[in-house]
Structure 1
Amino acid sequence: MPLVHSEKIDKTSTLLLWELTETEAELRKMLGNAYNSEDLLKITHLQKQREWLASRLLIQQLAEQFGITYNGTHKDEHGKAYLVNNNSHISITHTFEYVAVVINPESAVGIDMEKTDAKLQRTSRKYLSGPEFEHAGNELAILCTYWCAKEALYKLYGKKKISFKNSIYIQPFDAEMPVLTGILTDEDRVITSSIYLRWFNGHCLAIALSR
């Protein structure tokens, strides 16, 4: 499970990105008993099991960097993972090839990673507003950026039933901009976020931090 990237995103947020190469059995052995078996038992797909185990292994290593005793994770009523017996905020993302985790001891954080794929072009009208759709121009890298940025902000907020198209807006950006601005609205709440972008081997990685 080689480390691909380690970075302190701001003063309090740290990112770790790993390439997922181990088998499910190898990951179980590496993690030992440091996970909640009842959560894993709910996952039947082998690849999803690998991703789940790898993400918990990564959380464990990241927690140790912050001097946190790792007692596993649970999920809240919205399905968002949190550390057992610790108030630090975490967010997890995984693709077939990679697993990434970000931790922030002080405030909510969200992360997403997506490989550029033609499905983003086929579904773009479902997650982009009119101005966003026009700006993207069906360019795959821009569509991927929009999707990852919105997903990261959605995960920062941590509640379900938020429309990507109507409730999450990404301000106009240039292709080379490393930090975007995202705004999420939910009834009377408005969340503004700085969204940091990184690219790895055709994958867009977005980390959303509260302002």
Structure 2
Amino acid sequence: MPLVHSEMIEETSTLLLWKLTETETELRNNLGHGYNAEELQSISHPQKVREWLASRLLVKTLAEQFGIAYLGTHKDEHGKAFLINNDSHISITHTFEYVAVAINPYAAVGIDMEKSDEKLQRTSKKYLSAPEFTHAGNELPLLSMYWCAKEALYKLHGKKKISFKDAIYIEPFDANSVILKGRLTDEELIVSSDIYVRWFGEHCLAIAL
């Protein structure tokens, strides 16, 4: 998997982005036995299997950069991934073409990557509040940034049953913004976050800290 991008963000989180080029067999051979076989067996689509294997291989690569003995990952009851036998926080995202992983030894991190797609225009009322919807209009770059930022903040929080429209708010920004401000409300808990945005061609990547 060719490394596309590597970045340290806020001196606490490391981001790696790789382009997915390997076959399933190559990924399995490179990863060895460092993965949750039961979780993998629940995935049937061949492309999704490749993405899952690639993401775990990238987690392994990143963990080893930090001197962490990689023993695989597990998920909690909300589906959030964690390293086995290590307290560092990780977040994973993958698309048809890319896989990205972020690690933060000290605090939660969330990451998401999506290719700009017209479906974001068709569904924007489902994930944007009224002020956000007015601000974004029908501009696909803005809609992509809103979606990825909300998804990244959702993954940072790590709990299910959070409404993107009603519980996650992103402050207004422009298409050239590289840092967004986000707020997630879960009952009496309020999570505020800086969300860093990077573009790779038509793909938007957001990382919430």
Query: TM over 0.5: same fold?
Result: yes
Equivalenced residue count is: 209
Aligned to 1:101: 101
For the residue of structure 1 that corresponds to 2:52, the secondary structure is: helix
Aligned to 2:130: 130
Q: Distance in 1 between matches of 2:9 and 2:20?
A: 22
For the residue of structure 2 that corresponds to 1:71, the secondary structure is: coil
Aligned to 1:81: 81
Kindly state the Cα deviation for residue 87 of structure 1 after the two structures are TM-superposed. Answer: 0.4
Aligned to 2:180: 180
Q: Distance in 2 between matches of 1:136 and 1:172?
A: 9
The amino acid of 2:27's aligned partner reads L
Alignment of structure 1 residues 103-182 onto 2, 5 Å: 103-182=103-182
For the residue of structure 2 that corresponds to 1:86, the secondary structure is: coil
For the residue of structure 2 that corresponds to 1:82, the secondary structure is: strand
Aligned to 1:29: 29
Q: Distance in 1 between matches of 2:10 and 2:20?
A: 26
| Partners of 2:14 and 2:102 within 8 A in 1 | yes
Moved over 4 A (4+): none
The amino acid of 2:67's aligned partner reads G
| Partners of 2:142 and 2:174 within 8 A in 1 | no
Q: Distance in 2 between matches of 1:183 and 1:141?
A: 20
Kindly state the Cα deviation for residue 144 of structure 1 after the two structures are TM-superposed. Answer: 0.3
Unmatched 5+ residue regions in structure 2? none
Kindly state the Cα deviation for residue 176 of structure 1 after the two structures are TM-superposed. Answer: 1.2
Question: TM-score w.r.t. structure 2 length?
Answer: 0.99
Q: Distance in 2 between matches of 1:13 and 1:128?
A: 28
The amino acid of 1:164's aligned partner reads F
Q: Which moved more, 1:100-109 or 1:36-45?
A: 36-45
Aligned to 1:192: 192
Aligned to 1:44: 44
What CA deviation, in whole Å up to 9, does each residue of 1:162-204 have, x standing for no partner? 0000000000112111100000001100000000000001000
For the residue of structure 2 that corresponds to 1:6, the secondary structure is: strand
For the residue of structure 1 that corresponds to 2:134, the secondary structure is: helix
The amino acid of 1:61's aligned partner reads T
Q: Distance in 2 between matches of 1:93 and 1:106?
A: 20
Kindly state the Cα deviation for residue 33 of structure 1 after the two structures are TM-superposed. Answer: 1.1
Q: Distance in 1 between matches of 2:120 and 2:175?
A: 17
- Root-mean-square deviation over aligned CA pairs: 0.5
The amino acid of 1:85's aligned partner reads N
The amino acid of 2:40's aligned partner reads L
Determine what percentage of the aligned residue pairs are the same residue.
74
What CA deviation, in whole Å up to 9, does each residue of 1:67-90 have, x standing for no partner? 111000000000011000000000
Kindly state the Cα deviation for residue 154 of structure 1 after the two structures are TM-superposed. Answer: 0.2
